[in-house]
């Protein structure tokens, strides 16, 4: 009886302990760390497209990218990195909302294809290097994609002067 109890306890401990060893993966990390609320896989013009919906209500210091804060720039880099590294998507689109007056208003939209992400050297980094990449090369990734910022909302939030 003691042996069975000890064996059951040991098995339970190993299962719980091994769960702590596994790192979070895609898409869980996007939901937990980057305010992602929905991910849609679709096909547009015969291309595999992943659309990521995000809601932001807090902002960091201003970035050198017009209308984006540093945290949003990092989020764009991280979302593109995790989606491209973990899927065979041809294109990633990010639609970021801001809650205003009990409505969700689009703050920015970003889209980039796999080829341009490769040109921006996004695939040459590891997850630990996302913040550094965003700081030094994130503007290049954004320049190779298509960014639209809701200028009226960005001015109201102090993200544009």
Instruction: Note the pLDDT tens digit of each residue in 59-103.
Output: 888 887 888 999 999 999 999 999 999 999 999 999 999 999 889
Mode of pairing for the β-strands spanning 103-113 and 146-149? antiparallel
- In terms of DSSP bridges, do strands 47-55 and 91-100 run parallel, antiparallel, or are they unpaired? parallel
Residue 3 has pLDDT above 90, yes or no: no
Residue 4, helix vs strand vs coil: helix
Alpha-carbon distance of 151 to 159, in angstroms, equals 9
Instruction: Tell me the C-alpha to C-alpha distance, in Å, between residue 141 and each of 6, 17, 24, 134.
Output: 54, 39, 25, 9
Q: What are the pLDDT digits (tens) for 25-68?
A: 789 999 999 999 999 999 999 999 999 999 999 888 888 788 89
How many CB atoms neighbour CB 14 within 10 A? 10
**Separation of alpha carbons 145 and 156, rounded Å:** 25
Distances 13 to 8, 19, 20 between C-alpha atoms, Å = 9, 10, 11
Confidence of residue 15 (pLDDT cuts 50, 70, 90): very low
Residue 18 reports pLDDT greater than 80: no
Which of 13, 85, 15, 96 lies closest to 53, judged by CA? 96
Give the pLDDT confidence score for residue 9 in this predicted structure. Answer: 47
For residue range 101-157, list pLDDT tens digits in order: 889 999 999 999 999 999 999 999 999 999 999 999 999 999 999 999 999 998 888
Average pLDDT over residues 11-20: 46
């Amino acid at each position: 009886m003691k042996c069975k109890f000890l064996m059951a306890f040991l098995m339970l401990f190993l299962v719980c302990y091994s769960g702590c060893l596994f790192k979070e993966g895609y898409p869980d990390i996007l939901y937990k760390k980057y305010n992602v609320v929905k991910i849609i896989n679709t096909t547009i013009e015969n291309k595999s497209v992943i659309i990521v919906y995000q809601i932001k209500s807090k902002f960091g210091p201003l970035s050198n990218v017009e209308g984006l804060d540093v945290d949003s720039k990092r989020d764009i880099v991280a979302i593109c990195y995790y989606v491209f590294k973990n899927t065979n998507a041809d294109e990633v689109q990010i639609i970021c909302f801001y809650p205003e007056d009990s409505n969700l208003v689009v703050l920015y939209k970003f889209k980039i294809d796999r080829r341009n992400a490769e040109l921006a050297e996004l695939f040459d980094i590891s997850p630990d290097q996302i913040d550094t990449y965003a700081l030094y090369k994130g503007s290049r990734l954004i320049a190779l994609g298509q960014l639209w910022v809701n200028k009226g909302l960005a001015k109201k939030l102090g993200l544009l002067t």
